[in-house]
């Protein structure tokens, strides 16, 4: 498919790189961009060649600087509901993608940019990155999941502070509060993220998919039900070809050759 607002490349080793490509407007999210993101993640989910996904932004300034305010300024309640619903559905498709999705945040990740990064499985950021939910300054609140994913990552108090002040924080503070996993120099970002992606891609993808699902579903369950789901998932994996190969390779002191079965 030909995209106008994003680029997609499947690299060696099954690393899928999705780049939001609107650098002139700091990769702001508008309706067509969200539609293309939804489509590419639908395609990636069903593509057996894609093993791990990297999501980033074009240019040196921004990952995603937010939603496109020029599109939103004339919204009424109906238009706002439609836009928020679209954004939430697309971010849910990222969060629920069966492949691990890594956000490589190379600059501003504000508003919808922070929200889309939080929908990824984890975030690796450039030392030039910054994060925030400044929607309060526009008389609105985050609408793509920010009020819900942020407290799950950094706790209720910190989330309320960021959402209600609209403060923008630098990468080192985002690391301190647990929003991002790692901060690296800007010129090392993609090499770092690619290294992590290749490591995950080298594992048996059946187990990787199940591990992601267990974490995603478990955090929204009480502990008893979450443990039961983990136990059931563990038991199912014990009947896979990858489990037999992985354990046999361990005992034979060699590298496993997973077949994703």
Query: Quick one: which H or E segment has residue 158?
Result: helix 156-165
Helix residue spans in 5-47 (DSSP H): 31-45
Q: Which two structure tokens, joined as six digits, stand for 51?
A: 């093993």
Q: Which two structure tokens, joined as six digits, stand for 54?
A: 């990297």
The vertex-174 CA angle with 169 and 177, nearest 5°, equals 120
Beta-bridge partner residues of 9 = 17
Q: Are 116 and 87 in contact (CB under 8 A)?
A: no
Q: Which residues are known to be catalytic?
A: 115, 135
Rounded-to-integer distance, Cα 94 and Cα 20, Å: 14
Contacts of 220 (CB under 8 A, 6+ apart): none
Pairing of strands 6-11, 52-57: unpaired
């Amino acid at each position: 498919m030909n995209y106008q607002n994003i680029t997609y490349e499947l690299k060696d080793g099954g690393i899928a790189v999705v780049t939001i490509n609107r650098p002139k407007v700091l990769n702001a999210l508008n309706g067509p961009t969200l539609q293309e993101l939804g489509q590419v993640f639908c395609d990636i989910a069903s593509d057996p060649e894609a093993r791990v996904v990297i999501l980033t932004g074009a240019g040196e300034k921004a990952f995603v600087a937010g939603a496109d305010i020029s599109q939103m300024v004339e919204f009424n309640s109906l238009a706002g509901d439609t836009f928020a619903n679209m954004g939430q559905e697309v971010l849910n498709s990222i969060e629920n993608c069966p492949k691990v999705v890594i956000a490589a945040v190379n600059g501003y990740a504000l508003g919808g940019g922070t929200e889309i990064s939080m929908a990824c499985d984890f975030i690796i950021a450039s030392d030039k990155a910054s994060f925030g939910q400044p929607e309060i300054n526009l008389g609105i609140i985050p609408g793509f999941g920010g009020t819900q994913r942020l407290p799950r990552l950094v706790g209720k108090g910190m989330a309320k502070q960021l959402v209600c002040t609209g403060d923008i924080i630098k990468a080192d503070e985002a690391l301190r509060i647990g929003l991002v996993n790692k901060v690296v120099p800007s010129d090392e970002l993609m090499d770092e993220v690619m290294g992590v992606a290749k490591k995950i891609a080298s594992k048996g993808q059946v187990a990787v998919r199940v591990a992601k699902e267990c974490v995603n579903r478990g955090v929204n369950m009480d502990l008893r039900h979450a443990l039961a789901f983990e136990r059931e998932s563990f038991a199912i994996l014990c009947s896979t070809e990858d489990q037999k190969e992985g354990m046999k390779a361990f005992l034979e002191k060699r590298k496993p050759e997973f077949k994703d079965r």
